[in-house]
Copies of this chain bind each other. A is one copy, B any other.
Amino acid sequence: MSRDPDSQGPVDGDTDQQEMIPSKSAVLVDGVVLNGPMTDAKAGEKFVEEACRLIMEEVVLKATDVNEKVCEWRPPEQLKQLLDLEMRDSGQPPHRLLELCRDVIRYSVKTSGSVSNMYAMNLARYKYRPDIKEKGLFGLPRLILFTSAECHYSMKKAASFLGIGTENVCFVETDGRGKMIPEDLEKKVWQARKEGAAPFLVCATSGTTVLGAFDPLDEIADICERHSLWLHVDASWGGSALMSRKHRKLLHGIHRADSVAWNPHKMLMAGIQCCALLVKDNSDLLKKCYSAKASYLFQQDKFYDVSYDTGDKSIQCSRRPDAFKFWMTWKALGTVGLEERVNRALALSRYLVDEIKKREGFKLLMEPEYANICFWYIPPSLREMEEGPEFWAKLNLVAPAIKERMMKKGSLMLGYQPHRGKVNFFRQVVISPQVSREDMDFLLDEIDLLGRDM
């Protein structure tokens, strides 16, 4: 922080305010007038709050919009100038503040992480050995957990944070569609045991980030039962299928999970971020595991009943307002309204898949189960070529080239990536209710328009 060379010391109250209050009651302590609230400051604060709210909304809305750019990248030195980061002695006028808001949003990375998986890992560990809470992990056999190679990066981050270590996250093989292979899971659990490690948790995924794959929960639950392992299901992305009677079979076996992470906002609640951790337990596990907090909150006022926070609650949220937001949305739209959203998103996905199959030059990576549609565009020059090394090498360059043209034209944003031996492909994730059939048609038309001379 810098100070202007001509700045004054602490301001001795507000002159307007002094005029409002009869001078006989004015009280001055340490050079500060203490009568009445600081009304001017409050007005300024109100503006800041309003501006922030307005802009936050824009950020949140855009963050959940698949077609939005993740970031308008600028080098740090340029950002420093663009954003006018320096703090000054005096406040800035409203219009300047709004400009700053807009700039910050423009050049910020828009992301959300998920802490639900970490909370689940901590609960599983507590269940495995409650005394870890007091004693730590020192002197214990190496704890080990299992997840598929397609899982969310947050599992490694959580293992590192919880003192378990990233190397003790054991990756189970997946099949060609990205689903965990139960036989490989069981093999690796036995192997870990033989090495003297202590398996305690399996994290299955319902709806992987890239392919939208669903692990076979029922078979995985059998293995967890046999080995007394906690089954956590990361249904952050795929959990919304549970709202649809038509599509919930994707999560068959989820009732056997010990915990489930779910971000309903991804498909159900555009514009409202929400992440939930659902825990099945009738032994006060949550309370016992996190009781340091509970005892603090409830120590001061004796008329609180400490048992209030436990009992038959099965849904706990790491952030209370999240649970509240989802509850309100459910209340507002009803169960049928939420089901409609899921059905619509998956019907739109189906439409896109059918169009890709119909159109010349488009090729699906695989028949999707969910709303992640992965496909290649094969430009005319490659259509007659044999699918050998040269073909794949050339196809690998197509998606990046088309994306560059899209960005220059500003027509639309569509992600691409290589994945597990597949060369660069486009990935469209369909989220209801913002997109329509017309958007799907436009997407394919535009790719063809930009790529047909390649």
Contact = CB atoms under 8 A, between A and B. Distances in A.
Contacts of A272: 45, 48-49, 52
Contacts of A311: 76
Interface stretch (A275-283, A301-309, A390-398): A301-309
A173 to B, nearest CB: 21
A53 B53 contact: yes
Contacts of A164: 136-137, 163
B244 A308 contact: no
Interface residues of A, number: 137
Contacts of A41: 333, 337, 340-341, 433
Contacts of A85: 327
Interface string A123-143: 001000000111111111111
A165 B126 CA distance: 11
Interface in A42-59: 42, 44-45, 47-49, 51-53, 56-57, 59
B133 A73 contact: no
A348 B38 contact: no
B104 A324 contact: yes
A438 B45 CA distance: 22
A34 to B, nearest CB: 4
Interface in A415-454: 415, 417, 432-438
A174 interface: no
A331 interface: yes
Contacts of A135: 165, 167-168
A336 B89 contact: yes
Interface stretch (A105-113, A212-220, A232-240): A105-113
Contacts of A292: 153, 156-157, 160, 166
Contact of A30 (B35, B304, B347): B347
A87 interface: yes
B344 A168 contact: no
17 contacts: A10-B336, A10-B343, A31-B343, A32-B343, A32-B348, A34-B351, A35-B438, A44-B333, A49-B271, A87-B334, A134-B165, A136-B163, A139-B142, A153-B293, A153-B295, A156-B292, A157-B293
Interface of A: 1, 3, 7-11, 27, 29-32, 34-38, 41-42, 44-45, 47-49, 51-53, 56-57, 59, 70-71, 73, 75-76, 85, 87-92, 96-97, 100-101, 104, 108-109, 111, 113, 122, 125, 132-143, 153-154, 156-157, 159-168, 244-246, 269-272, 290, 292-293, 295-297, 299-305, 308, 311, 320-321, 324-325, 327-337, 339-341, 343-344, 346-348, 350-351, 354, 400, 415, 417, 432-438
